[in-house]
Amino acid sequence: MGVEVLAPAKVNLFLEVLSKRKNGYHEIETIMQSINLYDSIILEEEDKGIKIDCKVQGVPSGKRNLVYHAANLLSDFCSIDKGVVIKIEKKIPVAAGLGGGSSDAASVLIGLNNLWKLRLSNDTLIELGTQLGADVPFFINKGLIMASGIGQDLTSLPSLPKIYFILITPHLSISTGFIYRNLELAKRRREIEPILEAIYEKDLEKLCLHLYNALEKVVIKYYPIVNWVKDNLRKEGAMGVLMSGSGPTVFGIAKDKEHAYSIYNRLKGGDYFIQVVESING
């Protein structure tokens, strides 16, 4: 028996860091949008144990991989005595600010819920996902969502007309922990209301005016290539440009599909991952 789950990437349209908790987690406000760039998670029953099968360089193996902890958490929570082989086919760049690891972990929770016929609710899966990482709860629901707290408080937002993004990921690895440790919290927070207003009005131009990521200033300080990518996307006509998550991926928003591929064709061939993707609903 086996189950396959597609694990989508995401981009952050807005990310503000509000405070730091005593346990080291940060309070955030963010708006995330699922996109049609997927890892494939294949789950196959095993007599015992949890095995990870992934051939991509940079992806941790065994207990160092978040999907192992997702399977182990669900197994313990439901007192399951079966094992599982988790095959990960990666398409999402690793450690790129696109949520690939968190999406894979969420997909393991969703897939094992089906494979083991557990019938757990989404709310229960979200509670479990919170124990794994800040972005995991989002990937249980997917779509266009506002998240707050440490990422576990989710509010679904109305779907926008399809948005076309040009993703560019420089070939470098950025530690999320390093970025947060070097972030100085702003004295005045960036308000989320203007971009929410644009979303409810379904106004893409207005949304592009209010894209924001508090982590950009830290990343650009240590990795100036991120700013170089942003500048090039702007020069080629992207309506709005922003780094996603803790980087290094930068996305540009295009007017439509034709515009997106026009920008892509002028920027392809560089020493980076580049792809046109589109928004997807939950």
Which are the catalytic amino acids? 10, 135
CA nearest neighbour of 131 among 101, 115, 151, 107: 151
Distance separating alpha carbons of residues 281 and 44, to the nearest angstrom: 27
Assess contact for 146 and 154: CB atoms under 8 A.
yes
- In the chain, the N- to C-terminal Cα span, in Å, equals 26
Distance separating alpha carbons of residues 226 and 216, to the nearest angstrom: 9
Region class of 24: left (phi > 0), else alpha (psi between -120 and 50), else beta: left
Kindly give, in sequence order, each residue whose CB lies less than 8 Å from that of residue 2, ignoring residues fewer than 6 positions away: 42, 43, 44, 45, 115
Show the tokens assigned to 222. 């240590």
